[in-house]
Structure 1
Amino acid sequence: MKITVLHGQMHHGSTWHITQLFINALQNETAQISEFYFPKDGPAPCIGCFQCFLKGENYCPHAEAVQPIAASIEASDLVILESPCYVYGMSGQLKSFLDHMAYRWMSHRPHPSMSGKIGLCISTAAGLGSGRTAKDMQQNLFYWGISKLYRYSVNVSAMNWETIDPKRKARIEKQVSTMVSRIQKSAGAVKPGLKTRFLFSIMRLNQKGNTWNLTDRNHWVANGWLPAGKTDR
């Protein structure tokens, strides 16, 4: 299994430790794991220039930082996003990278490999908000076209991993083990769900009548999702 992990922070707090529990449980002699830490490995904030939409992702002024991460995601079987809850949301540095991936949403140029991938979103909070944070990250993976999605969120009632109550920590470890088993059973048998197929069909209709962004439309034609020929008017 090839796994790409996007860490929404540099420090090794509760979210990082729980992510390591998942990675260690999934790791075997054939696993290939690529990890990216933000902001160190990420791009500068998106400047809204629209070049990725209108000309292609390589025209992004930050493509040199974005595309190696995008390539790792596209080559992976499992994509993990993880971030602590920062003011009821993911970290700004992870959000900054996800902003750069807007061209991969189903409304633009979804990658054909996405429908066969598994996504996992992990978040913790000292107080409240971990569930909302994990759901926000999961939304991005859904709109990329990843249709088998898992999320794990927990409010740990502690400022760091070392001070989490031992009983709570044991419960976390048990929950992680259960979710890992579900992920392993899903591997190699992922198919787009009804919600994904429905949204994709709506986006295909939109692209059929797309006369303003041929970069997007040509992507759909090249992947066989639309017939070649003149754009409908």
Structure 2
Amino acid sequence: MKIVVLHGQMHKGSTYNTTKLFLDKLSDNNSEIAEFFMPKHTPGFCIGCFNCFTKGEDTCPHTETVQPVVKKMEEADLIILESPCYVFGMSGQLKTFLDHMGYRWMSHRPHEKMFSKIGLVISTAAGAGAKKVTKDLKNNLFYWGVPKTYCYAKTVGASSWEAVKTDKKKQIESEVTKLAEKISREVCNVKPGIKTKAMFKIMKMSQKSNDWNATDKEYWIKKGWINGKNPW
């Protein structure tokens, strides 16, 4: 299994350690894991130049930082996005990276490989907010075309992993084990459901009448999607 992880932070707190538990359960000797840490691998802020939409992703001012991560995601069987909860949202550094992925949404130029992947989104919080983070991260994966995404959100009741109570850690490990087993059974064997297919159909209709972005429309024509071919 090929796994790519986008860590929304550099520190190794509760979200990081929960993610490592998942990796321990999901990986074996044949697994390939690529990890990116934000802000170390975060590009500069999106400047709204629209180059990625109208001229192609390689014309983005930050393409040298963005595209190595994108390529690893395209190669992966499982994409993991994780972030601690910061004021009821994901970390700013992870959001900065995701802002650069707008061109890969189904409304623009989705990659066909995304329609066969599984996503996993993870967040922890000392109090409330982790579910809000995972919901936002899941939405990003959905609009990339990822047909199945699992969410793991946990209130840990502590500001550091070391301070999380032993019983809570045992509960997390038990839940992680069960979810990891489910993901392992389904990885490389997932297909788009009704929601993904319906969104793709809507985007297909939109591209047929697209008269403002030739780059997007030409991409869809080249893929054969406008004429009825599907990416799955």
TM-score class, shorter-chain normalisation, is: over 0.9
Q: Do residues 169 (structure 1) and 189 (structure 2) align? A: no
- Any conservation in 1 of the 2:54–2:213 contact (CA below 8 Å)? yes
Could you tell me which residue of structure 2 aligns to residue 224 of structure 1? 224
After TM superposition, give the deviation of residue 218 of structure 1 in Å: 1.0
- Percentage identity across paired residues of the two chains: 54
User: Helix, strand or coil: the match of 1:150?
Assistant: strand
After TM superposition, give the deviation of residue 42 of structure 1 in Å: 1.6
For 1:50 and 1:124, how far apart are their aligned partners in 2?
Answer: 33
- Any conservation in 2 of the 1:107–1:203 contact (CA below 8 Å)? yes
Matches within 5 A, 1:1-12: 1-12=1-12
* Per-residue deviation, residues 93-123 of structure 1 (Å, max 9, x unmatched): 0000000000000000000001100000000
User: Helix, strand or coil: the match of 1:41?
Assistant: coil
Could you tell me which residue of structure 2 aligns to residue 129 of structure 1? 129
Matches within 5 A, 1:61-80: 61-80=61-80
- Any conservation in 2 of the 1:112–1:223 contact (CA below 8 Å)? no
After TM superposition, give the deviation of residue 222 of structure 1 in Å: 1.5
Q: Which amino acid aligns with 1:32?
A: E
After TM superposition, give the deviation of residue 227 of structure 1 in Å: 3.4
User: Helix, strand or coil: the match of 1:149?
Assistant: strand
* Per-residue deviation, residues 137-184 of structure 1 (Å, max 9, x unmatched): 111000000011101000100011111111111000000000001101
Q: Which amino acid aligns with 1:69?
A: V
Could you tell me which residue of structure 2 aligns to residue 55 of structure 1? 55
* Per-residue deviation, residues 51-101 of structure 1 (Å, max 9, x unmatched): 000000000000000000001001100000000000000000000000000
Structure 1 unaligned residues grouped into runs of 5+: 229-233
Q: Which amino acid aligns with 1:39?
A: P
Q: Which amino acid aligns with 1:59?
A: T
- Any conservation in 1 of the 2:8–2:38 contact (CA below 8 Å)? yes
Please report the TM-score for the alignment, with normalisation by the length of structure 2. Answer: 0.97
Please report the TM-score for the alignment, with normalisation by the length of structure 1. Answer: 0.96
- Any conservation in 1 of the 2:26–2:181 contact (CA below 8 Å)? no
Structure 2 unaligned residues grouped into runs of 5+: none
How many residues align structurally? 228
